[in-house]
Amino acid sequence: MQNVDYVECQASSWALAADGLIQLLTQRGVGQGQVLGVDAHSSHNGEGGAAVFCAHYSMLLPSLGILNLRYMRFEEVVEDEHNWATISKRATSKLSIKRAISVTASSSIDQEVVLCCFYYSRGTEKQALQEVSEVVAPAWKDAAERLITMVEAAGLCNGQVQWIDAYWLPFMKGSVALSAYFCRSLHGNGPLRLSYSLRTGG
């Protein structure tokens, strides 16, 4: 997709960063239907904050009205896979039939993990509950290839995968994770075909 822009907000807490991101999108005149996704990541570069959210959007997409972007935030200590699965399930359950944009995770302080769900509060059609497929692997390339195989085998169509989140959580002990969130009730357009590009930083 061409003409994709992004905004980023860094703050001393996840709530301040999320509120700041929504304010930046609103100031730029971004409407419903124009946000492609939101990503959470932590930063420890000494610039005054550790919580970061960034959003990618395209003003070429049709706007469905005022942004009305809201979020739910979960910040908890996660010690193992069972804790993480419980939080993830609770988050998708609370989303219910809200029109979700992104569910994004990041490591936080010590063993804490943040999981934030961004959604439109009004003005859009409701949808069925989101489903999620997660892959944990030693490297990003392995995770991406395994996730693509998994979601393509699930019988999904183009347009039904809403977003894919990349993250590392403390209990994963050196592994990385990708989660694909999808909704089978969304209109599909032909068999799903995914590809990816990979860029990592030091």
pLDDT of residue 90: 87
Burial of 123 (0-12, 13-18, 19+ CB in 10 A): middle
Q: Is 190 left (phi over 0), alpha (psi -120 to 50) or beta?
A: left
C-alpha 201, offset from chain centre? 20
The residues, any chain, with a CB within 8 Å of residue 7's CB and separated by 6 or more, are 21, 24, 25, 28, 54, 55, 57
pLDDT of residue 44: 60
pTM of the model: 0.86
- Percent helix / strand / coil, the chain, rounded to 5: 20, 35, 40
pLDDT of residue 71: 95
The residues, any chain, with a CB within 8 Å of residue 184's CB and separated by 6 or more, are 128, 131, 156, 160
Tokens of 15: 């709530």
**Residue written as token pair 């089978």:** 184
The residues, any chain, with a CB within 8 Å of residue 12's CB and separated by 6 or more, are 48, 49, 50, 51
The residues, any chain, with a CB within 8 Å of residue 46's CB and separated by 6 or more, are none
pLDDT of residue 48: 45
Tokens of 157: 């169509």
Tokens of 88: 């993830």
Q: Is 139 left (phi over 0), alpha (psi -120 to 50) or beta?
A: beta
pLDDT of residue 124: 55
- Mean pLDDT split into 10-residue runs, the chain, 202 residues: 88 94 96 94 62 95 92 91 89 80 87 90 64 92 95 90 90 91 85 86 58
Tokens of 72: 């739910």
pLDDT of residue 132: 87
